[in-house]
Structure 1
């Protein structure tokens, strides 16, 4: 037993030495950082005002003081030391290639050199795809975080760059991918997709087993608009369905529909109307609770869509990537919609609203969590609802709300939404004076936005039925206030 003690002590000593060295190096660099002159970068304004554009069309490239710069959104500008300023040119005047330049030796995707491409014969295929007849690439028009650069590397490179020892870290870049080489040339089939009959690519990534020549975008609707458009990410080829370049476990058929909740990044859901199931990206909702019914198709008074099944109300937690139950389904027998985000079940009236928890301190305001809440109105019998007016502003044809009467009370059913300062779908109109004020046809959109703040509209008495919540930041106070 004792023979192992020296070895264990030596291991602990080595660990302590390593930790000490890391701390020492960190302190040395921190000291260097304090005393060194930081590297000065040209601002975007200076480059735009003083730099010379490359080409006559759309471009991200500028020449300044005999150096070529390229804009890489989210991380400023980068110098391209390899560039030949005498022969530098844009690949084309197409806006989709504004991030691609060529000189006598290289082809550049932003500040990255695309290897093995012949700059003399390279041409644009479309939507960021280029080829020299043999080698083909995709160069994205939108920058992304460089996942090949880990946090330790990035911090180290920032320190080196700040002290003038190293170059600027490639924290963001224009993603670029080389396509498989084959005898047949690549052709653009639908937006963002190329195929040569053997290989198909969606925004530079291989789509396995896809027929690129029959590829189409699935129809999509967004918000309260009934007008269909093409999905941003879901495609189908007559057999398979894809989210970006990944297979979705459903066969292509005419009853597939996409809805875009919120119109942001990763905001699309796929709806299979034949089975009444839903998919987020490539993940199907659990068959255990199907069929599902979508309660709210837009984000006017909600952060997330809510899905009804016989077993309850669910929402898809997009951070944790799983379906979560958030309450009982009060609409298991009947669901009637009075107005956007306002519903009844034959007995009670319900509406959607937002509840976001903030805490304030000397260091500012911090958002703890966001949530979408389904409320049940108190003292509002369903059989007494009477629509009496529409609220429009000025001479506009756009409707801001509808006015409803229930017994002796008047209610304001909002359609402006959270973007205009209305966090809930239903408000109680304070009194007869407030009602006349709201119904005045000369009211402007600015007047309407001030209704709640000026006390013209009040929050009615309610009971909370369901709450779809996700955390934004850790807040200590939430440990003892879980019932909010």
Structure 2
């Protein structure tokens, strides 16, 4: 009986949502985005003028009016793309459709990194939108008011606006992403970074797919290390860097080579299992970054937000060499990393259920034979021979619809064709898989990292 009541309640709730959604299309109180785009006057950046009102485009929320804005004096603050959400008129400065309090439109200027000042008042206004936490009860109250009582259109997303403290010294932006300082304090997206040295604060080096660039979320100042504005329990040194695999849904980490410690966001791996090392810097066939320790294989579960142990470390003897991206051999055994996912089998629900990153052992290899590399296929993969058999090792990966790290090549002619043909894109590989000239080899799964999703 209780279950039946729950089902009825949920059904009524969804019917109510459907009624609101349908009614929303009939509400002519606020023009739809299509009408504004088609018939409005483009002003600059993300601003449009339509039927006597200035509107601003807010990604994931649509167009929203700025009734206070004066058309005649309305103008941009700069020609920089990152300032396209900032508007100025004779009376106000606008962060999207929000009036920035006490900011003088006559003296305001962009400092860079989405910081703005008039010499006295300084703020951070992010060009990337985020969920509007001010909406009550998931916006239902606002939806009812909008649909049935001609209220304002609910704003599900906003341009984040943060006012910085008044300062006797001038603010200026730093060279790293989202940072600014007044010479005394350092701010990340408007939030103060405790103890950060303004003279030395910079982004950590980010190693992604074996290429170095600047991290957008990890910072250092010579003494301290930060995740965004959060001070981490790490003493800075020249060896520390951030690492991220060029793969789907994989986050970036901090790695300290001096003690072998790993950190992700504000979480640290267990010190008792250090030193850690990443299994590979390649990410074409992974959904998780796997970290090896003498005590096991570890990964960060993004859904449960914790570091988890998978199994014993199959590379504990350190006798395996990575002969190709995600393929390892010690002369006797060949292990490889691969990824796969499962979806719900429910007739009305085919959503993602779980993702896996596995370490597998390639079967049926002659222990008396060794691997011989026959050639690379541009950067897409390579062809190898082991005894009488040929193999294709793939670098394209899941995102390119190549779902296996290793394929067995059925004949020598195909192997030679792969080496001697200029391949651009994944079409040739997909065609050979469809024709079963590249087949999935026999292997045994040794371990798997799993993330279960609850949508």
TM-score of the superposition, structure 2-length normalised? Answer: 0.90
From the superposition, tell whether residues 321 and 118 of structure 1 become closer, same or farther in structure 2 (CA, over 3 Å): same
Aligned match of 2:96 in 107, 110, 113?
A: 110
Q: How do 1:163-312 and structure 2 match up within 5 A? A: 163-191=148-176, 192-223=178-209, 225=210, 227-262=211-246, 267-312=251-296
Aligned match of 1:405 in 363, 378, 385?
A: 385
TM-aligned CA deviation for residue 407 of structure 1: 1.9
TM-aligned CA deviation for residue 93 of structure 1: 2.0
Per-residue Cα deviation, 1:89-112 (whole angstroms, up to 9, x for no partner): 112222221101011222110111
2: CA distance, partners of 1:28 / 1:427: 52
Contact 1:189 1:213 in 2 (8 A): no
Contact 1:143 1:175 in 2 (8 A): yes
From the superposition, tell whether residues 382 and 302 of structure 1 become closer, same or farther in structure 2 (CA, over 3 Å): farther
Q: Secondary structure at the match of 1:78?
A: strand
Q: Secondary structure at the match of 1:213?
A: coil
Q: Secondary structure at the match of 2:392?
A: strand
From the superposition, tell whether residues 28 and 126 of structure 1 become closer, same or farther in structure 2 (CA, over 3 Å): closer
Per-residue Cα deviation, 1:102-158 (whole angstroms, up to 9, x for no partner): 1122211011111121222211111211111111000001111123335x1512212
1: CA distance, partners of 2:381 / 2:17: 60
Residue 124 (1) aligns with residue 105 (2): no
From the superposition, tell whether residues 419 and 390 of structure 1 become closer, same or farther in structure 2 (CA, over 3 Å): farther
From the superposition, tell whether residues 331 and 29 of structure 1 become closer, same or farther in structure 2 (CA, over 3 Å): closer
TM-aligned CA deviation for residue 39 of structure 1: 1.9
2: CA distance, partners of 1:37 / 1:189: 45
Per-residue Cα deviation, 1:301-358 (whole angstroms, up to 9, x for no partner): 0001111111111111122221111122111112311100001245311011112112
Residue 447 (1) aligns with residue 433 (2): no
| Residue 12 (structure 1) aligns with | none
Aligned match of 1:426 in 393, 400, 406?
A: 406
From the superposition, tell whether residues 107 and 409 of structure 1 become closer, same or farther in structure 2 (CA, over 3 Å): same
2: CA distance, partners of 1:328 / 1:286: 16
| Residue 6 (structure 2) aligns with | none
| Residue 415 (structure 1) aligns with | 395
TM-aligned CA deviation for residue 27 of structure 1: 8.9
> After the TM superposition, which of the residue ranges 79-88 and 303-312 deviates more from structure 2?
79-88
From the superposition, tell whether residues 412 and 169 of structure 1 become closer, same or farther in structure 2 (CA, over 3 Å): same
Q: Secondary structure at the match of 1:133?
A: coil
Residue 335 (1) aligns with residue 320 (2): yes
Contact 2:247 2:286 in 1 (8 A): no
2: CA distance, partners of 1:111 / 1:406: 64
2: CA distance, partners of 1:415 / 1:28: 49
| Residue 450 (structure 2) aligns with | 469
Q: Secondary structure at the match of 2:127?
A: coil
Per-residue Cα deviation, 1:192-244 (whole angstroms, up to 9, x for no partner): 21111222111221111111221111111112x3x311112111111111111
Aligned match of 2:353 in 368, 373, 380?
A: 368
Q: Give structure 2 stretches of 5+ with no counterpart.
A: 1-10
2: CA distance, partners of 1:270 / 1:188: 24
TM-score of the superposition, structure 1-length normalised? Answer: 0.85
| Residue 39 (structure 2) aligns with | 50
Residue 460 (1) aligns with residue 441 (2): yes
Residue 316 (1) aligns with residue 300 (2): yes
Q: How do 1:17-36 and structure 2 match up within 5 A? A: none
TM-aligned CA deviation for residue 439 of structure 1: 3.7
TM-aligned CA deviation for residue 26 of structure 1: 10
> After the TM superposition, which of the residue ranges 264-273 and 245-254 deviates more from structure 2?
264-273
| Residue 435 (structure 1) aligns with | 415
From the superposition, tell whether residues 129 and 298 of structure 1 become closer, same or farther in structure 2 (CA, over 3 Å): same
> After the TM superposition, which of the residue ranges 154-163 and 240-249 deviates more from structure 2?
154-163
2: CA distance, partners of 1:401 / 1:54: 48
| Residue 145 (structure 2) aligns with | 160
From the superposition, tell whether residues 29 and 260 of structure 1 become closer, same or farther in structure 2 (CA, over 3 Å): closer
TM-aligned CA deviation for residue 49 of structure 1: 4.0
Rg larger in 1 or in 2? 1
From the superposition, tell whether residues 404 and 449 of structure 1 become closer, same or farther in structure 2 (CA, over 3 Å): same
Residue 38 (1) aligns with residue 19 (2): no
Q: Give structure 1 stretches of 5+ with no counterpart.
A: 1-22, 393-397, 475-484
Cα RMSD over matched residues? 2.7
